[in-house]
Structure formats: C-alpha cells, structure tokens
Amino acid sequence: MNKVDPAELFTKYPHIAKRITMIWGSPDCRELLLSLINDSRGGDRAGFSPEIAKIIFALLDKHDEMYPQFNKAAHIEVPFGFTQKKISTTRTVKENNGGWGIIHYAIIIFILILGVSAYKGYMFYLEFTASP
C-alpha cells in the first residue's frame, strides 16, 4: 500500500479525523470508515473529493492490515462434522501483490454507481412511459 498523508483529512474534516483517531484500533473505527465510504442517505450524500476518498480508503486498508480480526468479511466459517473450522481469506500483502489499492475500490464504487444509475433511469423510463 502506498503511503498516504492524512493531513488533508485533518485540515478539511477535523471532526471526522478526531473521531477516527479516538476509536482507532476498534471495530467501531472500521465501521466508521465504511460508513464514510458508503452512502447511507439514499443518494443525498454529496461525497468526498477523490483526494479525501483516497485517504479514507488508505486508512481502511491500514486498519484492516493492523486489526484483521475486525474485518468480518475476511473470514468464512465452514462446518466440518460437528465442529466449526475457520478458514481465513486474509492474505499477506506479499501474497496479494500489494493488496487492494484505491483503484480496486474505485472500480467497485463505479460499478455500484453505474448499477444505481441504471436502476433510476429504468424507473424514470417506466414512469415516463406510463404517463398519459
């Protein structure tokens, strides 16, 4: 993972940076970082600039690297007989050729935005064609 300087986050959004600093190393910090990335306001959120989004993604990557136990998506439980065996899907950065970089997350967000836009366009089309 490339080093990212979080100074711009501290300058533009000191309240967010303070919250991240206060809860760093906890499951709540991971949840906060994810909530900053995801739109939970039904499309009303304006979003962050690409520079700030890159910092947030980098912080999430660093948090997951330092505290993988809080990343529930990185572990899959598979039953074998009467016991549970946990299979970790977390890989080291070396095994993962550098890990998930900002471009991977950007592609996922782009695909999600594209899907939501297509859905909204389809709904508009249905409404437009149903009107007299």
Residue 1 domain-assigned (yes or no)? no
Residue 102 domain-assigned (yes or no)? yes
% the chain with pLDDT above 90: 26
Residue 48 domain-assigned (yes or no)? yes
**Domain enclosing residue 92, as ranges:** 7-130
Structure-model confidence comparison of residues 76 and 66, the more confident one: 66
Residue 2 domain-assigned (yes or no)? no
Residue 103 domain-assigned (yes or no)? yes
Residue 76 domain-assigned (yes or no)? yes
- Predicted local confidence at residue 89, as pLDDT: 52
Confidence of residue 20 (pLDDT cuts 50, 70, 90): very high
Residue 44 domain-assigned (yes or no)? yes
Q: How many domains does the chain have?
A: 1
Reported residue count of the chain is 132
Confidence of residue 79 (pLDDT cuts 50, 70, 90): low
d(CA 50, CA 39): 15
pLDDT digits (tens, 9 = 90+) for 28-64: 999 999 989 887 666 666 778 888 989 999 999 999 8
Question: Range with the lowest mean pLDDT among 2-6, 7-11, 20-24, 28-32?
Answer: 2-6
